[in-house]
Structure 1
Amino acid sequence: MQKKMWNGLKIGLTIMGTTIGAGFASGREIWEFFTSYGRQSIFGLLIALTLFSLSSIFILWMSWRHQTENYYDILVLLLGNTLSRLFDTLIFLYLVSGSIIMLAGSGATFVQWNLPFILGVGIVSIAIWLVLIKGVRGLINLNSILMPIKTVIILAIGLLYISRNPSLSGPFTRHYLEVWPSAITYVAFNMISLLGVLSTMGKRIETKGEIIFGGITSIIGLGLVAMMINLSLLRVPHVEQYDIPLFALIPTNQTVLLLIVSMILWLAIYTTALSNIHALVYRIQNKINLSTGKISFGLILFIIPFTFIGFANLVKVLYPLYGVLNLYVLSILILYPFQKTR
C-alpha cells in the first residue's frame, strides 16, 4: 500500500514538474491567463485545475491500459491512424521548438548573471542528458526531488508578501472580461508537454489507485502554487509592468532571495526542457533501436545550434502557432472517456 502511494506521489510530482515551467514559476503565465482578470481569477484557476486533473488522469489511464511507450500511441487511440500521423508531425515540431526555447532560455538566464550564453546552454544540456540516460525512472526521480523544493520556496515567498500586503491592488486590465475562455486556453497551452511525458509512464503503473492518487496529488500541489502566486500578484500595484512578476514579490535589498528565485526559474526551464526532450526521445526510440542515452545525446546536439536564434524571437513566433493544435487535442482527450465506441 505504501509503495503504491509513493509511486502515485512521484507521478503527481512529475505532472507538476512538467507543468510548472519557466512561465508558470515566473508568474508571467498566471498573470496573463488569470490574475489580469481580477477577483474572478480564482474561479478561472479552479476551472483550469479541474481540466488539468481530468486530462492527466485520462492520459495516465490510457497509457496504463494500453501499455503505451510514447505520445503517438495515445494519438492513435484518440484520433485514429490517419489524423494521428499529421498530429504526430505537428507535436514533434512543437516539442523540438519548445526544447530550443528552453535551452535558449537557460542561455539567456546565464547572460543575466553576467555569464556566457553558451555556458547556460551547455550546462542545461549536460544536466538533461545525465537524467535521460536513466530513462523514465530518471525523470520521475528528479521531479520527486526538485518539485518539493520549488513548491516550498514559492509558497514561502507568496506567504511573506501577502502577510506584508493584505489589501488587493487594482484595477486589473481584463476585469471586464470572462475568465473561463482564458482558463481553457491555458490548459490547452500545456497539454502537449503533459501528453508527451505521461504517455511514456504506462508500464511503470501497477494499479488504478496510483493514477488517481497521482492526479489528486498533482492538482493539490499545482493548486497551492498557482493560487499562492495569483493571490500575491493580486496585491502588486501595476504588476503588468514586470517581465518576471515573481520578482515584484521580493524586496530589492534581498539579494540572497533574488538569487534563490533566479535559481528556481532556471530549474523550471530545466525541467520543462527535460520533459520535452524526454517525450521526443521515446518517440524516436519507437523508430530507431538505440538507447535513450544515445538518442538524447544526438537530439541535444541537433538542438543546440538553433538556440542562437534568440529566446525572445523564438517565443514570439513559435508559441502562438500551436494554440489551435493544443486546444483540439485537449477537446478530444476530455471527450474520449464518454465515447460509446471506446
Structure 2
Amino acid sequence: MIKNGIKIGLTIMGTTIGAGFASGREIWEFFTSYGLQSLVGLMITLLLLLLSSMVILWLSWRFETENYYDILVLLMGTHLAKIFDWFIFLYLFSGSIVMFAGSGAIFEQWGNSMVLGVLLLAIPLWIVLARGVRGLISLNSVLMPIKMLMMIYVGTLFLMNDQEVASHFIREHLKVWPSAITYVAFNVISLLGVLSTIGKKIRSRGEIIFGSVVGTFGLGLIAFLMNLSLLRVPNVDHYEIPLFSIIPNQPIFRVFVSIILWLAIYTTALSNVHGIIFRVQKKFPFSTGKLSFVFLTLIAPISFVGFSNLIQFLYPLYGVLNLYVLSLIILYPFQQL
C-alpha cells in the first residue's frame, strides 16, 4: 500500500507542479499578492485539493475509468460532458500559449529577445511532434523530482536570510478565499486528466487516502516555502518569473534554474500541443507534421502578450469556469449517502 500510495502522491504533485507553479507565477498570482492572508488561502487550497484528489481517485478505482471523459459522464451526464470535452481543448490551446510566453520570458531574463525564446521552443516542438512523441513520460519523471528539490532548496536558502515581510501587496485589501478556491478549480482539469487513468492500478481505499495525503503534503511544503519567500521580496510583481527574485545571484545556479524551467515549459507545451493534435486528428485526417505546424503558427504570435499577463488573465478565468466541475467532484460523495 505504501509504495503504490507514494507513486500516487508523486503523480498528484507532478501533475500540479507545472511550469507556472515552478516559476512562482501561480503562487504569486493566487496567493502571495494577498499578503499574509495568503497562508490561510493555501490551507483552504490544500484541503480542497486533498478532497478532490480522493474523490477523483475513488471514482476512477470504483468504475475503472480509462480517461477524464468517463468521469465527466459520471459527474454531469453525456450531453454536458461533451461540452466540457471541447472546453478542455481550449484549455490545452491557451495553456500552450502561456508556455510559449514563458519560454520568451526566460530568454528576456538573460537580456535576449522574446522572439528568440519563442522560436527556440517552436522549432524543436515541431520537429519532435512531426516525428512522434517519444520519451516524454521518462523526461517528466526525471524533471519532476529535480523541480521539487530545486524549489525546496531555493525557498529554504532564501528564508535563511531572515528578511522581513514586504510592506505592500497589490491585493491585500481583498479576501483570499475566492482565489484559493479558483486555484483548485483551475488545477482540477489536469488532475482529472491524469488521475482518471490510474484507477485500475489501485488496489484499496487505503492507497487512495495515503496517496492523496502524500501528494497534498508535498505540494503544501513547496507552496508554503515559495509563498513565504515571495512575501519577503519588495515589488515581486514586477518580475515576469518571480522565482528569479529569490534565487542566489550566482550565474551558474541561475543558468541551471533557467534550464530546468525551460525544460518544464517544453514538456508541458509538448503535452498540450500533442493533446490538441490528437483530438483534431479524430475529426480531420491530416498528418501530425502539418497540424503541428498550423497550430504552432497560430500559438506563437499570441504568446507575445506576455507570460505574467497571460497567467493573470487566463488562469483565474479557467478557474472560474471550472468551479462547476470542482463543485460536482466535492459534492459527489454526499449524493451517494
Normalised by the length of structure 1, the TM-score is 0.82
Match of 2:241 in 1: 244
Pair 1:308 & 2:300 matched:
yes
Distance 2:196 2:328 in 1: 15
Which sections of structure 2, spanning at least 5 residues, go unmatched? none
Secondary structure of the structure 2 residue equivalent to 1:58: helix
Secondary structure of the structure 2 residue equivalent to 1:168: coil
Pair 1:117 & 2:121 matched:
no
Which range moves more in the overlay, 89-98 or 230-239?
89-98
Which range moves more in the overlay, 41-50 or 119-128?
119-128
**CA apart distance, 1:112:** 6.0
Distance 2:206 2:126 in 1: 35
Question: Which of residues 75, 89, 107 is equivalent to 1:78?
Answer: 75
Distance 2:130 2:98 in 1: 17
Secondary structure of the structure 1 residue equivalent to 2:299: helix
Pair 1:339 & 2:335 matched:
yes
Distance 1:280 1:214 in 2: 30
Distance 1:297 1:214 in 2: 39
Match of 1:217 in 2: 214
Equivalent pair of 1:196/1:279 in contact (CA under 8 Å): no
Q: Per the alignment, do residues 110 and 35 of structure 1 end up closer, same or farther by CA in structure 2, a change over 3 Å counting?
A: closer
Distance 1:19 1:283 in 2: 23
1:125-153: CA deviations, max 9, x gaps? 6668999557xxx63x5444222211111
1:223-263: CA deviations, max 9, x gaps? 111111101011112222222211111344x1112112212
Match of 1:7 in 2: 4
Q: Per the alignment, do residues 108 and 227 of structure 1 end up closer, same or farther by CA in structure 2, a change over 3 Å counting?
A: closer
Equivalent pair of 1:106/1:124 in contact (CA under 8 Å): no
Secondary structure of the structure 2 residue equivalent to 1:121: helix
Match of 1:322 in 2: 318
Equivalent pair of 1:27/1:246 in contact (CA under 8 Å): yes
Equivalent pair of 1:193/1:275 in contact (CA under 8 Å): no
Equivalent pair of 1:132/1:296 in contact (CA under 8 Å): no
Distance 1:196 1:284 in 2: 18
Equivalent pair of 2:277/2:292 in contact (CA under 8 Å): no
Secondary structure of the structure 2 residue equivalent to 1:310: helix
1:148-178: CA deviations, max 9, x gaps? 2111111111111111133222122222322
1:166-211: CA deviations, max 9, x gaps? 3222122222322111100111122212212222222333333332
Equivalent pair of 2:184/2:319 in contact (CA under 8 Å): no
Secondary structure of the structure 1 residue equivalent to 2:160: helix
Question: Which of residues 146, 150, 159 is equivalent to 2:147?
Answer: 150
**CA apart distance, 1:299:** 6.2
Match of 1:185 in 2: 182
Distance 2:330 2:130 in 1: 33
Distance 2:219 2:319 in 1: 22
The one-letter code matched in structure 2 to 1:80 is: G
Question: Which of residues 213, 225, 228 is equivalent to 1:228?
Answer: 225
Equivalent pair of 1:71/1:279 in contact (CA under 8 Å): no
The one-letter code matched in structure 2 to 1:308 is: A
The one-letter code matched in structure 1 to 2:321 is: L
Q: Per the alignment, do residues 309 and 204 of structure 1 end up closer, same or farther by CA in structure 2, a change over 3 Å counting?
A: farther
**CA apart distance, 1:22:** 2.1
Secondary structure of the structure 2 residue equivalent to 1:171: coil
The one-letter code matched in structure 2 to 1:239 is: V
Question: Which of residues 52, 57, 60 is equivalent to 2:54?
Answer: 57
The one-letter code matched in structure 2 to 1:118 is: L
Pair 1:88 & 2:85 matched:
yes
Secondary structure of the structure 2 residue equivalent to 1:337: helix
Equivalent pair of 2:101/2:305 in contact (CA under 8 Å): no
The one-letter code matched in structure 2 to 1:45 is: L
The one-letter code matched in structure 1 to 2:336 is: K
Which range moves more in the overlay, 107-116 or 176-185?
107-116
**CA apart distance, 1:339:** 0.5
Secondary structure of the structure 2 residue equivalent to 1:92: helix
**CA apart distance, 1:282:** 7.7
**CA apart distance, 1:297:** 6.8
Which sections of structure 1, spanning at least 5 residues, go unmatched? none
Distance 2:5 2:28 in 1: 30
**What's the C-alpha RMSD, in Å, of the aligned pairs?**
3.2
The one-letter code matched in structure 2 to 1:62 is: L
Normalised by the length of structure 2, the TM-score is 0.83
The number of residue pairs the alignment matches comes to: 328
Q: What fraction of aligned residue pairs are identical, expressed as a percent? A: 58
Distance 2:106 2:125 in 1: 11
Distance 1:10 1:340 in 2: 28
Pair 1:48 & 2:40 matched:
no
Q: Per the alignment, do residues 11 and 32 of structure 1 end up closer, same or farther by CA in structure 2, a change over 3 Å counting?
A: same
Which range moves more in the overlay, 256-265 or 299-308?
299-308
Secondary structure of the structure 1 residue equivalent to 2:206: helix
The one-letter code matched in structure 2 to 1:247 is: F
